[in-house]
Structure 1
Amino acid sequence: MQINLSQYLTRIGYQGSLAPTVAVLHGLTRAHSQSIPFENLDVFLRRPVELELDALFNKLVLSQRGGYCFEQNGLFLQVLLQLGFKAKPLAARVRLRTVDRSEMPPRTHLFIIVTLAAQQWLTDVGVGSLSLTQALLWQNGLEQQTPHDRRRLIQEEGRWFHQVWQDNHWQDIYEFWGEVMPISDQKVANWYTSTHPESSFRDQIIVSRALPEGGRLSVLGDELRHRHPNGGLTTHRIQPNELKNVLLEHFNLRWPEE
């Protein structure tokens, strides 16, 4: 199946070149992360998360919803492939909640590697409030300034770590080994993430998007968070009767129908 690229590009508000270049990869990554919110409403509401391409397109584009990594990067991967990029899905272990590197969290994250002119670039529009707004060159130790934060990829004893500079230190986002994540593995990880009692996505609402002027807006449970371009953070407690309006006003996201 092929998706309607015109409808997708309208959804993310992208009007630039579509040539398979680094500049276009950067532009698409930023436009996607600023337009399609990361969200887990279906998981929170105990509804199934479908990974078939037509389901992803209907949800994220036609219904103007968002999704989490398997949905966001699943759709974005197809967009890149249709545009002529050499791209593949890779698996990762999220480390935001697992600081101790001796512990090994499950491989429940999907991201994308793109090969351009003999160089490899990492893009990821599905890692919540840390979704990329610019692709990263896969090079050990290179600090890379994106429109929204500073990143680097480091290798230690064969393990790669994607890190963000936040709160005056480098923080692990996830770990990867360069393993391709075929759709069969994605379905297993998606099932675990959306249904397992220990999955954090089932506990509270998580919504996030990057802002065009820099900074990010997020909802975590009953809290609205604004990470400012200078790194500062302001929060607002969301009252139960405010939630649907907050999602609509700040994320253009309507509460899913029954």
Structure 2
Amino acid sequence: MTADTHGIDLDSYFARIGYSGRPAQTLQTLKALLARHIDSIPFENITPFLGEPVNIELAAIEDKLVHHQRGGYCFEQNALLRAVLQQIGFQVTGLAARVLWQMPEGHQSAQSHMLLRVVLEGVPYLLDAGFGSNTPSAPLRMDSAARQSTPHAVYRLTLIGEEYLLEIRIAQGWAPLYRFDCRPRTAGDYKMANWYCCTHPESRFVQQLIATRIVPEGRHVLLDRQLSYQPIDGPKTEKTLADVGDLRRTLLAVFGIEVPSGAGADRKLAGIF
């Protein structure tokens, strides 16, 4: 994969996610950076929902997610995290997955999700900061088929032929999230997938407003006007937002997102109601 020559301002990134440690090529650093990243930078698709394409050049991603306090989806979240880890010295490869979550059995989806493979002391880890409410909140070992606990959920990775299947433990049993292989993806691969996700009328990111944030105590999820919170321990709570003003206030207070202003944005948001 051709490297992006843009260098991330690590001090600004660390300030954005509230990381005050000394980064080193260790599992402790990997865990800490992922935890702070997903707590501080929300998953959101406001840009494509408002009808604008998503620029996944690294400089544009850094400007949006770091300097303008916005969030993004997988092609932004994981590209930023990959660049940060590479500057620290980690061995990182960008991969692509076929999403299976909430899909009919046997559905053949495109490789529309970006994720990362990090090799540390000879051990491969799956790292993903951009799968919305089910984002693993800790690195997952790829050399183990055992169930793996993270602060927010239990996962397992199963190697089937040349592909890995990632599943999450839910009340009803194991549910598939996505499947992927270890072939490195190019910038062109991501541009094609991103273009579909942010512009195609059938894309979920064009049709629905989505925002999620994983905090140490649980997960906040917004789907159009429905806001929910699932604590690590305790029952799920849900709320239906009343209007555009309520939606804007919730996005800012819960997710730290200030939605772009303007009549066009308000008209699109009003369509939710």
Q: Measure the CA separation in 2 of the matches of 1:88 and 1:60.
A: 21
Question: Quick one: distance in 2 between partners of 1:188 and 1:225?
Answer: 32
- 8 Å Cα contact 1:33-1:132 kept in structure 2: no
- Whichever residue aligns with residue 71 of structure 2, its letter is G
Deviation at 1:74?
Answer: 0.6
- Does the 8 A contact of 1:87 with 1:114 survive in 2? yes
Q: Do the aligned residues in 1 keep the contact of 2:44 with 2:71 (CA within 8 Å)?
A: yes
Contact 2:91 2:118 (C-alpha < 8 Å) held by counterparts: yes
Compute the displacement of 1:108 (Å). Answer: 0.3
- Is 1:140–1:155's contact at 8 Å kept on the other side of the alignment? no
Counterpart in 2 of 1:51?
56
Residue 122 (structure 1) shift: 0.6
In the other structure, the counterpart of 2:103 is: 98
- For these two proteins, the number of residue pairs brought into alignment is 256
For 1:45 and 1:97, locate their aligned partners in 2 and report how far apart those are by CA, in whole Å: 24
Match of 1:219 among 202, 206, 222: 222
Q: CA deviation at 1:231?
A: 6.3
Asked if the contact 2:70/2:257 (under 8 Å) is kept, the reply is yes
Which is worse superposed, 79-88 or 226-235?
A: 226-235
Q: Does 1:111 align with 2:115?
A: yes
Q: Secondary structure at the match of 2:111?
A: coil
Residues 196-211 of structure 1 mapped to structure 2, 5 A cutoff: 196-211=200-215
Is 160-169 or 75-84 further displaced after alignment?
Answer: 160-169
Q: What is the 5 A alignment of 1:140-159?
A: 140-159=144-163
Kept after mapping to 2: 8 A contact 1:70/1:190: yes
Once residues 104 and 155 of structure 1 are traced to their aligned partners in structure 2, the CA distance between those partners, rounded to angstroms, is 18
1:31 touches 1:133 (CA, 8 Å); kept in 2? no
Aligned partner of 2:80 among 67, 75, 78: 75
- Once residues 179 and 169 of structure 1 are traced to their aligned partners in structure 2, the CA distance between those partners, rounded to angstroms, is 30
Per-residue CA deviation, residues 201-253 of structure 1 (Å, 9 max, x unaligned), is 111110001012x2100101110010110263211001123000000110111
Instruction: Tell me, in whole angstroms, the C-alpha distance in 2 between the residues paired with 1:24 and 1:80.
Output: 10
1:80, CA displacement in angstroms? Answer: 0.4
Distance in 1 (CA, whole Å) between partners of 2:72 and 2:261 is: 15
- For 1:257 and 1:52, the matched residues in 2 are separated by 24
Amino acid at match of 1:199: S
Match of 2:24 among 11, 19, 28: 19
Deviation digits for residues 25-49 of structure 1, max 9, x if unmatched?
Answer: 0110111000000000001001110
Amino acid at match of 2:69: Q
Question: Once the 2 structures are TM-superposed, how far is the Cα of residue 139 of structure 1 from its aligned partner?
Answer: 2.4
3-state SS, counterpart of residue 114 of structure 2:
strand
Q: Report the equivalent of 1:253.
A: 257
Which range moved further: 21-30 or 151-160?
A: 151-160
For residues 16 and 235 of structure 1, the distance between their equivalents in structure 2, rounded to whole angstroms, comes to: 36
Which residue of 112, 125, 143 corresponds with 1:121? Answer: 125
Q: Is this contact kept in 2: 1:133–1:146, CA < 8 A?
A: yes
Asked if structure 2 preserves the Cα contact closer than 8 Å seen for 1:29 and 1:132, the reply is no
- The letter of the residue matching 1:18 is P
Partner of 2:266: none
Over the aligned positions, Cα root-mean-square deviation in angstroms equals 1.2
Structure 2 portions without partners, runs of 5+: 1-5, 263-273
Contact 1:21 1:116 in 2 (8 A): yes
Within the alignment, does 1:66 sit opposite 2:71 as a pair? yes
CA separation in 1, counterparts of 2:104 and 2:219?
23
Matched, 1:38 2:56: no
**Contact 2:100-2:107 at 8 Å conserved across structures:** no
Q: Which residue is 1:176 aligned to? A: 180
Alpha-carbon shift at residue 157 of structure 1 (Å):
3.8
1:215 maps to a residue whose letter is: G
